[in-house]
Every structure is written in C-alpha cells, then in structure tokens.
Amino acid sequence: MATANLSRKTGVVRKVPQPVLNLLTQINQIVGDDVHKLFKYAQEKKFAIPAINVTSSSTVVASLEAARDKKAPIILQMSQGGAAYFAGKGLANDKQQASIAGAVAGAQYIRSVAASYEIPVILHTDHCAKKLLPWLDGMMDADEAYYKEHGEPLFSSHMIDLSEEEVDFNIQTTAKYLKRAAPMKQEIGITGGEEDGVNNEEVDNNALYTQPEDIYNIHKTLSAISPYFSIAAGFGNVHGVYKPGNVKLHPELLGKHQAYVKEQTGSNDDKPAFLVFHGGSGSSKAEYTEAISHGVVKVNLDTDLQYAYLTGIRDYVLKKKDYIMSQVGNPEGEDKPNKKYFDPRVWVREGEKTMSARVQEGLVDFNTANQL
C-alpha cells in the first residue's frame, strides 16, 4: 500500500510506502527496524545518509540545523576520541571511562534535543578497534540499562573496527557482539590514513580493496544472527584529505560485491548488503554517486567538517582581531568594551554556521536533501 506525500518545499507529490512515510515523519532518534527500513528506502531512492562525527553540543547543533534546513535524515556518531572529548579532556581515560561517560552523555544530549529539529536521527558510534572494546562494552551496558527502562537501546547502532585483525577474528568477534545487541555495524577491510589510533598509512594499496568473498562471508555469518548490520568495504578509501592522484577509489567494486552476495545467497535483491563509505572527505561527487548507486547507505564525513568548523572561527578572529586583543579598547575608542566580540557564543556560532553549510553540501551531494 502506498500513500501520497506532499513535499513541504517543492509541492511535488511522491508515492511513498506507508511504513516508510511513518518513519520519515518521525522527529526523534530512530532505532532497530526503523533504521533497517530507512537504509532499504535509501537504496531504492539512491541516496545515502551522511554520518557526522560530533564531539560537542556545538557540532551536534551544526549538524542538526543542516539536516533540518535540507529536510533530510542524518546520522550523528561519536568516535572513542570524540566521546572522550565530549566528557572533557581533563578526565582520565586509562580504562575508557571518559570515552564511556562522554558517549553516554552525548547520546542523552542528542536524544533530548533531536525532537526539536523535527527530523529522524540515527545515533551511532564509530571505529571501535580491538584495544577499544572495553569502550564498546561500557556503551552496551548503558544500552541494556536504557532498554530495560524505555524498551529501546540508548544508541541506534555501534561499529566494531577490527580491520587490523585477521578476517576470521573480525567476523567472529563482531558476531558475538551482534548476538548481544542489534543493529551492529560491521567493518571489514582496511582504511588508509589515521583516525583514533588506527594507522594504515604504510599498508600496501592492494590491501585497501576488500574482496567479494570476504563480504559474502561477513554477510552469511551475520545475517544468520540478525538483519541489522552494515558493511564498510574498502575500495581504496582513506581517512583524511590527500592530494589529487594519491588516492585511487574504485567504487565499481561495490557493485561486484553486491552481485557476488546476490549470487551466493540466491537473493532477488540486487543490493542485498547495506554498504558504508568510510573516509568520505575529499571525494568527488561522481565517486559518491557511483558508490551510492551500488547500495551505499551511509557516508562518513569528518575531516572536511573539522576544517569547515575552523574556517568560521578563523575568519571571525581575523576580521575582529582588533576587537579581541583586550577586554576594553578597540578602534572605536580606548574605553569601548569588547565583550560582544569575545563572548564564546559569538565566535563559536561562526564555526557552527560554516560547518552546517558543509553538512548541507554533503546532503545535496548524497541526494539526501528533500527526502522528508
């Protein structure tokens, strides 16, 4: 059964299945089956949802504003380092206690404000390497406690990044966690560059391309446990921004992965796997578009957004330099107060604006804009 959905911005009538329409009109964090439905809808409509690394209430606000203004769903995610920052860099983190506390605090904050922005929000955690599994354990403890009280986990999903480990260990460890809680993100392969201690810069380029047999093995193992998982396959993607020519992306490989999984499983679905594009910063729109055409439902953005956030603050400081060198006294007079210039709410807001603009750009590039 389908129903007509009148776009609030364009007035165009689209046919949207009722369950998906109900989902897209939700105005809060979504979990479980709703995430699965949104990902499948994204594949059908050929869009991907940007996953924004957030480290503070300020970066959360910038991201939510962008999604609201572009009428789009969004994924907000915290890395282990970002979560520790959310709690405070002055806290000890030898047992991941700051990262656990920051992730839980960030999740509670996002839950408390998301409804005000009237968009669906997926709350995710990113890049949990083997040495960081105690962080994941602590977050899943919080998930289970929240579930007992509210009937749903605190986070929409988590991702385990065991790409530095042997493939079998990667799959079996993720399967163990998937049995505990779904949905669970599963990453396979190696991503170049460095993020939160995962450094693959010296790895042979050939290792940056995941093999279709590995994708099928992951899919077979995890789908026997739960349908709530996605796979970050390496197709030459890296973290960070590199000079043109230094990174060779081959998103066409993702289509071969999907075809192999379809063949091996006998599925009628041309895109049986939910794929994730890691290291999205610095890629071209053509590369995004091709990856999305092969079933990518999520694209990570971090480096570009860090720089975008900086530019707003940098430009403000350069423009207002003579007004922030002292509390009193500026070009307008020696006794003129400068509080309205150095108030953090003023210059931090400039960073939010430029970051939000870059998130909006991603929403357009990934065809996520105006999907609500």
- DSSP, collapsed to helix, strand or coil, labels residue 113 as helix
Three-class DSSP labels, 92-110: CCCCCHHHHHHHHHHHHHH
Those residues with Cβ within 8 angstroms of residue 244's Cβ, 6 or more apart along the chain or in another chain = none
192 forms beta bridges with 238
Those residues with Cβ within 8 angstroms of residue 43's Cβ, 6 or more apart along the chain or in another chain = 271, 274, 295, 297
* Alpha-carbon gap, residue 44 to 199, rounded angstroms: 35
Indicate which residues carry an active-site annotation: 126
* Alpha-carbon gap, residue 64 to 113, rounded angstroms: 9
Burial class (CB in 10 A: 0-12, 13-18, 19+), 339: exposed
Burial class (CB in 10 A: 0-12, 13-18, 19+), 167: middle
* Alpha-carbon gap, residue 162 to 185, rounded angstroms: 11
Beta strands at 333-337 and 328-330: parallel, antiparallel or unpaired: antiparallel
- Rounded to whole angstroms, what are the CA distances from 63 to 138, 352, 354? 26, 8, 11
Q: Which two tokens stand for residue 89?
A: 């860099």
When computed from its CA atoms, the radius of gyration of the chain, rounded to whole angstroms, is 21
